[in-house]
Amino acid sequence: MNSTEQYLEAQAAASEQVDVPTMVNYIIQDSLHRGASDIHIEPWEDMVGVRVRVNGVLQWLVGIPSDHHPNICGRFKVMANLESHTTGLPQDGKAAPEEFGGVQLRVSIFPTVFGEKIVCRVFNPNSKVFDISKLGFDDATLERFKELAAKPTGLMLLTGPTGSGKTTAIYAAIGYLLEKHGNAVAISSVEDPVEQNLDWVNQSSLNPARGYTYPAALRSLMRQDPEIIMVGEIRDEETAEIAINAGMTGHLVISTLHANTTSGTFARLINMDIEPFLLASTIIGVLGVRLLRTNCMHCAGPYTPEPAPLEQLRQFEGDEYLQAMLDQQGFYRGAGCSACGDTGFSGRTSINELLVCTEPVREAVMQKRASREIQALAVQDGMRTLWDSGLQLVVDRKTTLEETLQKVAADQV
Ligand SMILES: [Zn+2]
């Protein structure tokens, strides 16, 4: 039983009224305890359901009697400095409850047919997610990444599908630059919206409704004398052009791009009508990231995967590799237990691949060669691929073969 349930039961047993601010604090405490990234508080027909997203999956937290719903909404509105008398309209705000040292909540209120639904995105600085050492680098790749980050100019891109940890990775990269340069460097960011406040970084949230878009923000920012610029996401031609221009004119620009493969980034930008020679001369590297669920340490044990994933592994790595893994009982997965909510997984870990724009890669980009060829050149130049990183987790018994295949193999060119 979690502390919200305990509190509700204790109040009921003592015939005492529920103090809503106290209950809300218990909800937040339980959510943090589970490592939640989001808290969903939903009015249903017969109760208020609270669910939390943990490792990317929604979990049930607690059900609360419906009569508390208006006061719960009111409490979150007060915490986030929203208009508490306004109901039935979307509202967004931020809260930093004092009781939870440094934890920030981005509170979003949305009217549904049963009343207002509240979703809180949780930022917990104590979980140290912005640590570059947690991005799943091996030593050699980390060194190459640091070399790129030390360059004074150019464009560094981070790619991955939705939910792959791009935002965490870009904050970690900025965190590394702050650690390296301290306050001796001017870092500015344009984000949609700012998700985590960083000391020494001039962060700016877009406001597209008022015309404050990525291109508008970046044009103004260029007159602010930044040395390092973080652009939340490149999603259109205009933003791409300005980011590349900034990278060519004495700035280090770091941004994210929605692409499935690191090598596919170039084709994606060429499709946005960016000249290949501009890409070749500006992009210094592309970091691809993914998040993989990790086996629960309490219930993980050896298993034999189904024939289909084994066949996929054989196609990638060959007969001998597969046989060796089977002989050594090398495959591990969680059977499911109370510690992992019967999922077999507990927590997630990052893996990555760093495509460094070496001379052969640059030439291939100029010649608009296929992504697959660019990928092969990068591997020749020492790139450890996402697949390699994911397979290493399988070998280390930290995740399942299926998880690696699902998150990585399908996207590999
Ligand atoms: Zn378990």
For residue 195, the one-letter residue type is E
**Whole-angstrom distance, CA of residue 72 vs CA of residue 78:** 10
Distance CA 42, CA 73 (A): 10
Cα(345) to centroid(ligand 1), Å: 6
Pseudo-torsion of CA 384, 387, 390, 394, nearest 10°? Answer: -110
Q: How far is the CA of 293 from the centre of ligand 1 (A)?
A: 12
Which residues contact residue 367 at a Cβ distance below 8 angstroms, ignoring those fewer than 6 apart?
276
- Ligand 1 centre to CA of 168 (Å) is 26
- Strand pairing partners for 117? 110
Q: How remote is the CA of residue 160 from the centroid of ligand 1, in Å? A: 28
Q: Is the pLDDT of residue 358 over 60?
A: yes
Determine the length of the chain: 413
Cα 295 to averaged position of ligand 1 atoms, centre (Å):
8
125 has pLDDT over 70: no
Beta-carbon contacts of residue 308 (< 8 Å; ≥ 6 apart): none
Measure 395 CA to ligand 1 centroid, in angstroms: 19
What is the distance between the alpha carbons of residues 197 and 66, in angstroms, rounded to a whole number? 35
- Cα of 4 vs centre of ligand 1, distance in Å, is 23
338 alpha carbon – ligand 1 mean position (Å) = 6
With contact defined as beta carbons under 8 Å apart, do 112 and 43 qualify? yes
pLDDT-based confidence at 131, cuts 50/70/90?
Answer: confident
User: Looking at domain 128-411, what is its CATH homologous superfamily?
Assistant: P-loop containing nucleotide triphosphate hydrolases (3.40.50.300)
What is the distance in A from the centroid of ligand 1 to the CA of 387? 25
Tell me the pLDDT band of 167, cut-offs 50, 70 and 90: confident
- Gap from CA of 253 to ligand 1 centroid (Å): 42
What is the mean predicted confidence (pLDDT) over 62-71? Answer: 95
Cα(36) to ligand 1 centroid in Å equals 17
CATH 3.40.50.300 residue ranges of the chain are: 128-411
How far, in Å, from the CA of 113 to the mean position of ligand 1?
Answer: 37
What is the average pLDDT across 316-321?
Answer: 94
Whether pLDDT at 129 is above 60: no
Distance 348 CA to ligand 1 centre (A): 14
Give the Å distance between the CA of 298 and the centre of ligand 1: 5
CA of 301 to the centre of ligand 1 (A): 10
Protein residues within 5 Å, CB atom, of ion ligand 1: 296, 298-299, 334, 337, 339-340
Domain with CATH 3.30.450.90 in the chain: 3-124
Q: What percent of the chain has pLDDT over 70?
A: 97
CB 263, CB 371: distance < 8 Å: yes
CATH of domain 3-124: 3.30.450.90
**Ligand 1 centroid to 346 CA: how many Å?**
7
* Coil vs helix vs strand at 89: coil
- Report residue 120 CA to chain centroid gap: 16
Determine the distance separating the centroid of ligand 1 and the alpha carbon of 161, expressed in angstroms: 27
pLDDT, tens digit (0-9, with 9 covering 90-100), for 251-297: 999 999 998 899 999 999 999 999 999 999 999 999 999 999 999 99
Residues 206 and 195 sit within 8 Å (Cβ to Cβ):
no
Task: Check: CB of residue 104 under 8 Å from CB of residue 39.
Answer: no
What is the reported pTM? Answer: 0.73
Residue of higher predicted confidence among 182 and 110: 110
The alpha carbons of the chain give a radius of gyration, in whole angstroms, of: 24
C-alpha distances out from residue 203 to 101, 156, 181, 221, 248, Å: 22, 18, 17, 11, 22
Q: Outline where 87-197 has alpha helix (H).
A: 139-149, 166-181
Ligand 1 centroid distance, CA of 397 (Å): 14
Contact 404, 291 (CB under 8 A): no
Tell me how far the alpha carbon of residue 169 lies from the centroid of ligand 1, in angstroms: 27
Query: How far is ligand 1, taken at its centre, from the CA of residue 132, in Å?
Result: 28
How many A from CA of 69 to the centre of ligand 1?
34
Residue entry with tokens 């109040």: 11
For residue 187, give the nearest of 235, 238, 226 by alpha carbon.
226
CA of 146 from ligand 1 middle (Å) equals 36
